[in-house]
Amino acid sequence: MFRRILIGLVMPTEWMLRCLPKRVRLTLSPFLFTAFFSIAMHAQEIPLTDLSRLELRGVHAETTAHQGLEALKITENETGPGEALAVVRNLIFHNGAIDVEVAGAPSKSANAQARGFIGVAFRMAAGGARFEEFYIRPTNGRADDQLRRNHATQYVSFPDWPWERLRKESPGVYESYADMAAGEWTHLRIVVHGTSASLYVSGAAQPCLVVHDLKLGDAEGSVALWIGPGTEGFFRKLIVTRES
């Protein structure tokens, strides 16, 4: 339980000490405290403006500014099928947390079905053959249609569990509402432990989407930035906290 608290919330050590039951504070040795808190401190910020840190698959990437902030811009390549991904090199993720700020909107050439799809893939197998993913549909966040609002956030597992299958077989279970707007910066936090994962949006204290049956099981793999069809996507401040 305590491990999940630390992975889900990166907070000052003094605050976490006060949150522990008194009997735990009194009985844990200094050595155990050091090992215990080292779990939460294993965080790594990935400099997204250094394109050499990314393996591009089906996308064009460039550094730019969006709403006055330095960012990585990703758009789809004009040719070639497949997922649009920027994979972080030399990083294997199992359990922990992934934080990133994203801004997605339909591109000028996108069709009417584009929603500004943007998100994060994790536990990606070598070559991108399989991965888990949370993403958002920014244009749905403030739509007049309530059903569209309910589809603002999404979990999928590539390739066997696309959103169409999940929505058909388990309506409303793998997607939910969260407030967001197209082209605006939105903070995403993904917390993963074993076969469970939660998505937090815009600094919310509670997750807007909880999944207890990750389709790839208790796996590990790479982390990647993802955009969907017709999206102009921006990313900044990618921080990966891995459980030791």
* CATH code of 124's domain: 2.60.120.560
pLDDT surpasses 80 at 137: yes
By C-alpha distance, which of 217, 229, 210 is closest to 161? Answer: 217
Domain range for 90? 43-242
Domain count, the chain: 2
Count of alpha carbons within 13 angstroms of residue 53, beta-carbon side: 16
pLDDT at 81 over 70: no
pLDDT of residue 106 exceeding 90: yes
* Residue 181 shares a structural domain with residue 202: yes
pLDDT at position 42: 85
What is the pLDDT at residue 22?
56
pLDDT at 17: 44
Residues 120 and 155 in one domain: yes
Considering the domain architecture, whether residues 226 and 116 belong to the same structural domain is answered as: yes
pLDDT value at residue 244: 77
Most confident of 4-13, 29-38, 130-139: 130-139
Q: Return mean pLDDT, the chain.
A: 88
In this structure, the answer to whether residues 95 and 124 fall within a common structural domain is yes
pLDDT of residue 140 exceeding 80, the answer is: yes
Say what the pLDDT of residue 79 is. Answer: 67
Confidence of residue 82 (pLDDT cuts 50, 70, 90): confident
Contact present, 168 and 183 (Cβ < 8 Å)? no
Q: Is the pLDDT of residue 33 over 50?
A: no
Looking at the structure, tell me whether residues 19 and 53 fall in a common domain.
Answer: no
Higher pLDDT residue, 17 or 230?
230
Rg (CA), the chain: 18
Cα-based distances in Å from 58 to 83, 125, 227 = 7, 17, 10
The answer on pLDDT for 7 being more than 80 is no
Mean pLDDT value across residues 202-208 = 98
Section 123-145 average pLDDT: 97
The structure tokens listed for 35 are 């090992």
Could you tell me the pLDDT band of residue 10, with boundaries at 50, 70 and 90? very low
Residues 137 and 195 both lie in one domain: yes
Q: Mean pLDDT, to the nearest integer, of 123-138?
A: 97
Q: What is the pLDDT of residue 115?
A: 97
CA nearest 98: which of 220, 239, 244?
A: 239
Looking at the fold, whether 52 and 167 belong to one and the same domain comes out as yes
pLDDT given for residue 177 in this prediction: 98
Is 0.75 topped by the overall pTM?
Answer: yes
Does residue 7 contact residue 97 with C-beta atoms inside 8 Å? Answer: yes
37 and 48 in one domain?
no
